[in-house]
Amino acid sequence: MSKQPTIVVTGAAGFIGSVFVQYLNEQGLDHLLLVDDFGVESKRKNWENKKFIKAIERQAFLTQLEEQEYEIDLMVHLGARTDTTEFNYAIHEALNIEYSKALWNYATAKKIPLIYASSAATYGAGEHGYEDSHAILDQLEPLNPYGVSKNEFDKWAIAQPSCPPSWTGLKFFNVYGPNESHKGRMASVIFHSFNQIKSTGLVKLFKSHRPDYKDGQQLRDFIYVKDLVAVIDWMMHEMLANVWESTKNGLYNLGTGKARSFYDLAANTFIAQGLEPKIEFVDMPEDIRDKYQYFTEANMAKLRAAGYTKPFTTLEEGVHDYVANYLVPNKEY
């Protein structure tokens, strides 16, 4: 790259987006067009420490794409409605499908590489496994409208006769780490556990409502947000250097490849503070019981085959870094 690339980051004020922008800034990259709905101040903590060309509201950005020529080198589309308890599908359809289609079509027309966020929620209860194969997309049975919307866009993207020169859809598994406080109920169990410990001295986890899983032993593939943005950064540089072969275009799992229990997650939140775990179990809310994933584990063979070789942070290492360096000092990344 002879000049610094101009990169679009959507969802830039959100959890993963803000960490990614900070990551780019730390590498000296600041030719960034940041796109989000910036009205919620809680999403903009530490925003003044980030460097970029321009921050643009989502709808204004779509309008500007049609009205003026940006010299964009790559688009990282992280913006989405991610609330799995939002059951109004029209909201997900507008924000997760139609918005994504508009960006895809622009990237295709202008020959701009595109990386977008999909989700492990597309796998539903895992009846068909967790392999990032294009062949199983029509068989997948997501458990909520959010997962449905992500799978519908994945299917649409795969079916397109025209596409960006380089593109990937990344199926994020359970992401945790700094800058997630604004997510409220949808923030990670670590975030909620830390605050429960601070206020009550204990952590409450959901009981299992399936006989094949003990309380607290529901399993997820938890990935530290710093690992996730490192993968995006690697793909981005491969694409910008024109070494990303078109045969690699497509969907990729983005987890660690190792499922861990919610009990382990909560226990390590105590341990990171030098405390003995004190965990109680409570009934799971009825509105999510039949839409709850009891096990997720990413098959990471495809990403490894594409050339990504870095190891992923262990749960113990990630929780310790998050708790000791961000939650305890009450700082954003």
Residue 55 and residue 33: Cα distance in Å, rounded? 6
Mean pLDDT computed over 212-216 = 96
Mean pLDDT computed over 176-183 = 91
Could you tell me the sign of the dihedral formed by the alpha carbons of 7, 8, 14, 16, in that order?
negative
pLDDT at 45: 57
Of 35-44, 158-167, 228-237, 271-280, give the lowest mean pLDDT range.
Answer: 35-44
Confidence check: pLDDT of 1 > 50: no
Q: What is the DSSP letter of 128?
A: T
CA nearest 293: which of 126, 154, 73, 82? Answer: 126
State both tokens at 49. 């420490």
Q: What is the DSSP letter of 293?
A: -
Q: What is the pTM of this model?
A: 0.94
Active site includes 294?
no
pLDDT tier, 91 (very low <50, low <70, confident <90, very high otherwise):
very high
pLDDT tier, 43 (very low <50, low <70, confident <90, very high otherwise):
low
pLDDT at 82: 84
Whole-number Cα distances in Å, 324 to 62, 118, 320, 328: 40, 30, 6, 5
Q: Following DSSP, what letter does each residue of 226-272 receive, concatenated?
A: HHHHHHHHHHHHHHHTT-S-GGG-EEEEES-S--EEHHHHHHHHHHT
Domains, the chain, in order of start with CATH, read 7-175+222-256+297-312 (3.40.50.720), 181-219+258-296+319-327 (3.90.25.10)
pLDDT tier, 65 (very low <50, low <70, confident <90, very high otherwise):
confident
Q: From the CB of residue 39, how many other CB atoms can be counted at a distance below 10 Å? A: 9
Confidence check: pLDDT of 73 > 90: yes
Per annotation, catalytic residue among 23, 106, 116, 146: 146
3-state DSSP helix/strand/coil percent for the chain, to nearest 5? 45, 15, 40
pLDDT tier, 38 (very low <50, low <70, confident <90, very high otherwise):
confident
> Residues 189, 220: contact at Cβ < 8 Å?
no
Residue 218 and residue 9: Cα distance in Å, rounded? 33
Q: What is the largest CA-CA distance in the chain?
A: 59
Per annotation, catalytic residue among 51, 101, 183, 291: 183
Mean pLDDT computed over 143-155 = 96
pLDDT tier, 46 (very low <50, low <70, confident <90, very high otherwise):
low
pLDDT at 42: 45
State both tokens at 60. 């204004």
Mean pLDDT computed over 231-257 = 97
Confidence check: pLDDT of 40 > 90: no
Mean model confidence pLDDT for the chain: 93
Active site includes 146?
yes
Confidence check: pLDDT of 94 > 70: yes
B/e letters for 227-236, b = 16+ CB within 10 Å, e = fewer, are: bbbbbbbbbb
Q: What angle do CA 82, 195, 315 make, to 5 degrees?
A: 70
pLDDT at 259: 97
Mean pLDDT computed over 47-57 = 86
156's CB contacts (< 8 A; 6+ apart) are 97, 101
Mean pLDDT computed over 223-252 = 97
State both tokens at 204. 């409450």
Q: What is the DSSP letter of 48?
A: G
Residue 110 and residue 122: Cα distance in Å, rounded? 29
Confidence check: pLDDT of 61 > 70: yes
268's CB contacts (< 8 A; 6+ apart) are 315, 316, 319, 320
pLDDT at 44: 58
